[in-house]
Structure 1
Amino acid sequence: MDKIQLKGCRFYGYHGAFSEEQTLGQIFVIDCTLSVDLKKAAKSDDLEDTVHYGLVFETIKKQAEQKKYKLIERLAGAICQDIFDGFAPVEAITIRITKENPPINGHYDAVGIELERVRE
């Protein structure tokens, strides 16, 4: 299956299990891969024959910046549902959400989750 990728999308949001996270907020890095049949677009050179990744970015941004969840798993699930609802050609989604500065005492680059969803 062909892929459309959005990598390293950065958003400031208020998601987290701790009250400090929901009050102070933090940066969330989101990578999203969409499985889409791109054969028609590869021949036609027409935006109508693909999924407009700028609109997908705005869909992700809306959830990441305007909503508030305790779990990034829930944030990822909500983003997947919005993408499936708004973009019929998307057959599957892999989404990764990373927190670079979670409230964990220790040394690490980042923590995060990855979901894989297939259209039902």
Structure 2
Amino acid sequence: MLTTMTIKGIHFHAFHGALEVERELGQVLEIDLSLSYDVEPKDLDSEKVPPVADASVYEIVQKVVMTTKFKAMEGLALEIARRLIKAYGVVELVTVVIRRRQLFIPGDVQSAEVEITVDREDLGE
């Protein structure tokens, strides 16, 4: 049975981006995640630990966002997806959305975002 865990609205003040000002002053990144995996109904009784834990997903994302530097948001999203797939052997597909609301561009823009979907086969696993 395909199961998808979704975590929305994770916020970090981080120092990623193509512009020097983004890397020096930083900006708030909002991250949404979806992790898809198969679960057998027999594994869903009340005594079993879930195969994917939201707290540890958060910790993995936090470590990537706060300890790496990417000029391209796509690269950051890909690294998050890679680490989640490697951390959870049951996860087959990860979608990462990174949204930026503090844009250093002239004009009235609500936000810019990238979305990347990676499956285990994309990583050669």
Q: TM-score range by the shorter chain?
A: over 0.9
Name stretches of at least 5 consecutive residues in structure 2 with no aligned partner. Answer: none
Identity percentage of aligned residues: 30
Contact 1:76 1:97 in 2 (8 A): yes
SS of the counterpart of 1:64?
helix
Paired letter, 1:116: T
Structure 1 residues 57 and 40: alpha-carbon distance in aligned structure 2, compared to 1, 3 A threshold:
farther
Does 2:27 align with 1:26?
Answer: yes
Q: Number of matched residues?
A: 119
Task: List structure 1 runs of 4+ shifted beyond 3 angstroms.
Answer: 38-41
| 1:51-87, Cα deviation, whole Å (9 max, x unpaired) | 1111011101111112111011000000011111111
Structure 1 residues 44 and 112: alpha-carbon distance in aligned structure 2, compared to 1, 3 A threshold:
same
Contact 1:13 1:66 in 2 (8 A): no
Structural RMSD (CA): 1.3
TM-score of the superposed pair, with normalisation by structure 2: 0.89
Deviation at 1:44, TM superposition (A): 4.5
Rounded Cα–Cα distance in structure 1 between residues aligned with 2:96 and 2:15? 18
TM-score of the superposed pair, with normalisation by structure 1: 0.92
Deviation at 1:23, TM superposition (A): 0.5
Rounded Cα–Cα distance in structure 2 between residues aligned with 1:57 and 1:94? 14
Does 2:107 align with 1:106?
Answer: yes
Residue in 1 aligned with 2:45? 43
